[in-house]
Structure 1
Amino acid sequence: MIKSKTVFIVGAGASAEVKLPVGEQLKKIISDKLNIKFDDFGSKIRSGDTQIASFMRQEFGQSLNRYLHACWKISDGVGLAGSIDDFIDTHQDDPDVATCGKIAIARSILEAEKSSHLFFKMENISDTINFGSLQKTWYMPFIELLTQGVSRTEVKTVFNNVAVICFNYDRCIEHFMLHALMARYSIEKQEAAEVVTGLKIIHPYGIVGQYFDKPGEMTVPFGSSAIPHLHSTLSNLRTYTEEVTDTDSLNAMKNAVAESEISVFLGTAFHPNNMRIMSDGLGQPVVKRVYATTAGISDENKSMIKDDIGVLFRGAKHVGINFATTCSDLFSRYSMHLRR
């Protein structure tokens, strides 16, 4: 059980521990998927993602060629950008690039969910995640931390002092928590879903599809092979250079940061825009301790991260900043600290 108010700020590196692609990998996947070429008769696809091509044919009809040009732009240039989001931002004057980019993001993330250590084929009601494959990830110590000292009758209190700000499009946390609680407490899926939907989890840039049932919205299974409806894809996903206008999400995010005594950065790149939307309009935080992963970040850049964290928390002199490499390393080093 976590006794202090704690916010977990989650980036792509956290999902990478269960084998979702990040950085260069994701750019390469998207580039390959959008290199859509047909044979001379236009009937058979020679390269690119067959499902995206079929989806676009159905959605765009006679305008397909126009969107194919946007796909080729992305395929040719995304490798030279920091990320797909950066590339879309560069081409703000071309809305077709954003449309095709988001279709590719949705397809790539859903496919990545299916290839991850969290996916399983639900052929029988008793089927679940292979938790043994997660032993070297942060997911296992996280669920241990949350549930330690919490009895079956108190399961609804598991997330009482916890909030999550997740900058990823995937639903790895929701999926893991649902099945982990079912296994940990021997409870039915419906009861576990009620507990997990009570978790304050904010996705500032949206998700590839609703994971839990929500009135008026279609659910998208974890690792779905189908691309969600175009309108859902475009409305559910925002790149980090698009303005976050969901007031409820913004307020929930700022409240989570402002009220937390402990802040934990898991697999984030400390992107300036992400730090900005958390800090804009934020009152004086009460944070006492900060923990952050810095895998792939040089010692020289760590000093800048300290400055960025200082700006987020209004330069509070009393804040102690503790670094670890990976997410699993952070929980291994600081699990006792996080319980208090």
Structure 2
Amino acid sequence: MFKRNTVFVVGAGGSREIGLPTGGELRAKIANALSSSANGFNRNAIGAALVEIYNQRSESLNIDRYLKAAKSISRAMFGALSIDNFLATHQADEDILLMGKLAIASVILEEEGNSAIKTDSNDEILFQNTETYWMNTFCKLMSEEVIRGDFATLFHDVSIITFNYDRCIEHFLPHYLKTYFLIDEVQANKLASTLNVIHPYGGVGRYPNRGGSAATIPFGSYKNPIHLAAAANQIQTFGERMVEDVTVKKMKHLINEAEHIVFLGFSFADMNMELLVPEDVHSKKVIFATTLGMSDPNLIPIRLKMISDFRTLDGMAPDVGMAALSANDMLNHYWRPIFK
């Protein structure tokens, strides 16, 4: 359990540890997913999902307009900073937005199913494949000194804000709890649901056994056109600026209440930071951040802005610790200051 109120902020680098794509890798996969031939989309599920969407609208589908949009996205990906940036540029183009979201949903759902935390024929995760995953280390450290059955406050002082569309956190956690604490699936799902996990930009469907009104989509279900259509509908890109006010307020409140903030595999994009930083910071923060792959010229302004953003009303600057480590290595190297 955590000794201090802690918020983890997770970016693509966090899911990369189990095989999910980073932004650059996602661009290439998006380009491939939207490829087509004279017979239509090479990914049949994308074409079928379009049919499903138009059936729901009770409208006739003009497939040619979406093949054109898909081709435009595919050609542009290697000149784009990210798929989200490209969709932000073309946010007024409904065809581009829809095809972009269908491609994101298709790729992310497929990558969930190919990840190191996919389940086997017995619906179990092979935990020997997850030793380098930060959630494995998170769970190990979180479980320290916890006696089976004494779960009331297990996740009392921790929350996770993930800017990823995948549901890897929600998928891994109940499997871990079931395996480690030797509890049944119902207990594990109930306990896992008490960990507060926020997706500011939505995700590829609500994870089974998690609350909410969004459509439930099984982990890794990318071939089902109904699931794919529903997943695309739940994705928001940062260019749309459609994050609900209640979600923004909740995130800012969590950050303000936190003593520790841990950034894992996060790129510190200005628009994402704006969603997190409170207007007035009430208490001194201790910040830990991974910076693997970032250059010093980029890190200097990021650090300075972070110090400015998290300075309290009475002038106390945060303690900022940055390390060129992976998300998992950060937890292994800094487990005592983070968890104790």
**Is the pair's TM-score, using the shorter chain for normalization, greater than 0.5?**
yes
Q: How big is the shift at 1:283?
A: 2.5
Alignment partner of 1:291: what SS? strand
8 Å Cα contact 1:208-1:236 kept in structure 2: yes
Unaligned runs of 5+ in 1: 39-43
Query: 1:112-135, CA deviations, whole angstroms, 9 ceiling, x for partnerless residues?
Result: 0011001013x33xx411111111
Query: Which residue, out of 167, 187, 190, partners 1:191?
Result: 187
Q: 1:239 & 1:63 partners in 2: Cα distance? A: 25
Matches within 5 A, 1:128-147: 128-147=124-143
2:261 aligned to which of 246, 263, 267: 263
Structure 1 residues 312 and 165, CA gap change in structure 2 (3 angstroms)? farther
Aligned-partner Cα distance in 2 for 1:227–1:297: 38
Amino acid at match of 2:91: Q
**How far 1:230 moved relative to its partner?**
6.6
Whole-angstrom CA distance in 1 between matches of 2:168 and 2:228: 22
2:3 paired with 1:3: yes
CA 1:215–1:163: 2 relative to 1, 3 Å: closer
Unaligned runs of 5+ in 2: 55-59
1:149 match: secondary structure: coil
CA distance 1:312–1:196, change in 2 (3 Å): farther
Aligned residue number for residue 57 of structure 2: none
* Mapping 1:174-185, distance limit 5 Å: 174-185=170-181
* Percent of pairs with identical residues: 35
Q: Is the 8 A contact 1:207 1:236 kept in 2?
A: yes
Partner deviation per Cα, 1:3-61 (whole Å, 9 max, x = no partner): 100000000000000010112211011011112222xxxxx45x632221232245445
TM-score by length of 2: 0.91
Output the CA distance in 2 between the equivalents of 1:216 and 1:302.
39
List aligned pairs for 1:152-231, cutoff 5 A: 152-213=148-209, 214=211, 217-225=214-222, 226-229=224-227
Give the match for residue 301 of structure 1: 298
**Helix, strand or coil: the match of 1:3?**
coil
After TM superposition, which residue ranges in structure 1, 4 or more long, deviate above 6 angstroms? none
Question: Residue 43 of structure 2 corresponds to which residue in structure 1?
Answer: 49
One-letter amino acid of the counterpart of residue 244, structure 1: M
Paired residues in the alignment total 330
CA distance in 1, matches of 2:71, 2:282: 45
Alpha-carbon displacement from aligned partner over 1:138-163 (angstroms, at most 9, x marks no partner): 22221111111111121232211001
The 2-side partners of 1:186 and 1:287 are apart by 39
CA contact (8 A) 1:265 1:292 kept: yes
Which letter does structure 2 place at the counterpart of 1:236? Q
Q: Which residue of 2 aligns with 1:23?
A: 23
1:186 Cα deviation (Å)? 0.7
Q: Distance in 2 between matches of 1:304 and 1:295?
A: 16
Measured on the aligned residues, the alpha-carbon RMSD in Å equals 1.9
